Chains A and B, each alone.
Chain A
């Protein structure tokens, strides 16, 4: 089926991609020819041709400007040498220090003024010697090039030199200007051309808009022709009366829909729940007001965008003023925010809220468009029994009420959607149903209403509706927080159940109160080695590393904690879930989009002097079958110092996880990673070793199945 309006993108191009002002008459001619049955392809060809012709005409009209800008910018290198001489004058070295740290601002202003003088002189010369230009520009038009030239010069200059330095940097260190002014003007080498470029562009841009393509646009006047009737003011209602009712309704419908869709997008993207676990009413109320305003503004913007699109029939002449239209529709759009919040909680209340919004929208719109659209009040059957014989007129034919079937169907479909928990679809169906019903049943005024009165009514309606809308939004937010807490508690309970064999029951209550549940219901997790394998290591025989002549390494089997956290947390916190297990067997994953951080912490029985330790070897057991490289980083910490000083030993890749060495593992792979310990001046001893897993993106959301077996500390 062929559309009645031309392709919107082509229409947009015609308006925005042609040089100079938008030619309304040309657009109208194309639209008229298109609606007479020509194809989309024809329209596109005409648009391309119009763009090409307009640009060629525009360039032809500005050919003198091109030539002048080129000639004037030839003098730019000479001017540059001249201004460099001024800028390097000793007086500036004495003045600028008075400005202190903000010396850059007066320096930049001075530099810009010097360059602007060159451009302004050029503009004056062009105006003096261009007779056409002088005749057509006056006052404000004349000031514009001067202002524009100064404003755009700095960004153009910056962009030119940024680009040139990026691509031709090697050329400039040895480049220089000619010594005489004439030589500088005639210099066609690269540096001189680069200097000319920003002046040339700035002059073109400054004078481009000031030159009218032709003088006719300013001389056009509105007439009521072709039969030379008297010129009259454009009558919108007269224009609308020439359109069929369907077209007018469709345009209004699309404007309202565009507003609704925009409000819904804004609602889904911006209307989030409060982060607090148990928020107070004040921030909730403020947030509710904000969300209602967001819905309203987004609706207005959506409608405005559709109204202003190039193929819009009412673009120039909306039958009712847009502010009134927006005010009327706002009483419907303000319900979009609570509706989206409820729908995100899978609550059937979203349908109820949508129905309320639809009712207010229909009532307001029906009254506001009364003067434009034909009244659609139910037609009462006319009985002519007085004039006719008895029973002769009793079998009258009832008027067709097709909308009744539509409303019934929407009701059934809405309930079906509600039954299968498609709440958003149900909301849309019920809202449409309510809108249709109210549209048909609204009592319309019998006489035309004053426009000011319409504004007052719409504003009053919006004021009355806004208060309950804010309260309902606050209710939606409260309900949302409660819903989120319920879900979190259920997740926590499910996770606790699955780990009941290894979990520590004492911490169950604490973790369920947390507000962040990224790790299967926990905000963080500490994994201890399984109790039966736990070895109690006596305090380190410090003397073994200190004893002179010792060459044997000190072996420390790992018996510390594994920490699982999510950024920005750096430690598990007091509410962390404690469990016994090993990373080789535990399935630990993030249930949200936040990455998982895994550390292994080994506390030593006594502090070891850094000066006595040359190297630390970390033996690991890898049972991870997920592709993706993982590296280990080691950190030595002196927890006894009041600042908790740390020494980073660097990172080492786990070879068995690298793509070229990766293979599916049926058993464990053991590896030893070497970390050299530098003699640190800021830290003399350490009593904790931290091993950090540094996974790639494949392991970002899961804990790698890699366990630390032991540390070997080699004496220096």
Chain B
């Protein structure tokens, strides 16, 4: 039995956004990207909380950059996905794809 926890929905989204943003992945663009994709506002505090959980699990790493005046002299914290993070994203994707493919075609009434 593997001692490994699965990614939650929000954590998976954040990992995907971090991969998508590449070297520009810090709090503000991550939140904006999430808001754009989810269609609803996201608290930056909750994004950081999730990122910290991911970092504790070793799925992302972070570094502080130089402070800038538009940030009130405070530093940016850039996030990067680790190899383990990338592996888990792929694995989750494969699991989800298999599960979706196993489902019968859904007829959604979107009216």
Chain A interface residues toward B at CB < 8 A: 5-6, 23-33, 35, 45-46, 49-54, 57, 213-216, 220-228, 234, 239, 242-243, 247, 311, 313-317
Contacts and interface: CB of A to CB of B under 8 A. Distances in A.
Contact of A5 (B27, B72, B78): B72
Given A222-B63, A316-B67, 16 more contacts: A25-B48, A27-B74, A28-B71, A28-B76, A29-B71, A31-B74, A32-B71, A33-B44, A49-B44, A214-B55, A216-B52, A220-B64, A221-B63, A223-B65, A226-B23, A242-B68
B62 interface: yes
A503 to B, nearest CB: 70
B105 interface: no
Contacts of A33: 28, 31, 44
B67 A234 contact: yes
A216 B56 contact: yes
Contacts of A311: 72
A5 B69 CA distance: 11
A224 B26 contact: no
Q: How large is the interface on B (under 10, 10 to 19, 20 to 34, 35 or more residues)?
A: 20 to 34
B20 to A, nearest CB: 14
A228 to B, nearest CB: 7
Contact of B72 (A28, A45, A216, A220): A28
19 contacts: A5-B72, A28-B76, A29-B26, A31-B72, A32-B68, A50-B48, A53-B43, A57-B52, A220-B77, A222-B63, A222-B64, A223-B63, A226-B24, A243-B69, A247-B69, A313-B69, A313-B72, A314-B73, A315-B73
Interface string B18-60: 0000011011100100000000000111101100110110000
B74 A313 contact: no
B66 A216 contact: no
Contacts of B77: 24-25, 220
Contacts of B46: 49, 53
Nearest to A18: B45
Most buried by B among A25, A57, A224: A25
A242 B27 CA distance: 22
B2 to A, nearest CB: 19
B111 to A, nearest CB: 33
A58 to B, nearest CB: 10
Q: Lowest 3 A-B CB distances belong to which pairs?
A: A50-B45, A28-B74, A25-B77
A225 B26 CA distance: 11
Interface of B: 23-24, 26-28, 31, 43-46, 48-49, 52-53, 55-56, 62-78
Nearest to B68: A242
A30 B55 contact: no
A30 B44 contact: yes
A21 to B, nearest CB: 11
A25 B26 contact: yes
Contacts of A221: 63-64
A15 to B, nearest CB: 11
A31 B76 CA distance: 11
B72 A27 contact: yes
A422 B18 CA distance: 63
A223 B67 contact: no
A28 B23 contact: no
B70 A35 contact: yes
Most buried by A among B26, B55, B69, B72: B72
A223 B44 CA distance: 22
A313 B73 contact: yes
Contacts of B52: 57, 213-214, 216
Contacts of A243: 69
Given A222-B64, A225-B63, A242-B69, A54 B45 contact: yes
Given A215-B56, A242-B68, A317-B67, A29 B23 contact: no
A21 B48 CA distance: 13
Given A53-B46, A54-B49, A216-B56, A28 B67 contact: yes
B44 A29 contact: yes
A228 B67 contact: no
A243 B70 CA distance: 9
Most buried by B among A54, A225, A243, A316: A225
Contacts of B68: 28, 32, 242
Contacts of B66: 222, 224, 234
Contacts of A27: 72, 74
Contacts of A23: 48
Contacts of B74: 24-25, 27-28, 31, 316
Nearest to B43: A49
B51 to A, nearest CB: 9
A215 B61 CA distance: 12
A234 B74 CA distance: 12
A35 B46 CA distance: 20
Nearest to A33: B28
B64 A223 contact: yes
Contacts of B43: 45-46, 49-50, 53
A26 B48 contact: yes
Contacts of B24: 226
Given A32-B28, A216-B52, A223-B65, A228 B73 contact: no
A308 B52 CA distance: 27
A25 B63 CA distance: 10
Contact of A222 (B56, B69, B75): B75
Contacts of A35: 70
Contacts of B26: 25, 29, 226
Contacts of A51: 45
B78 A46 contact: no
Contacts of B70: 31-32, 35
Contacts of B63: 220-223, 225
A31 B78 CA distance: 16
A242 B65 CA distance: 16
A682 to B, nearest CB: 75
A216 B45 contact: no
Contacts of B45: 26, 46, 49-54
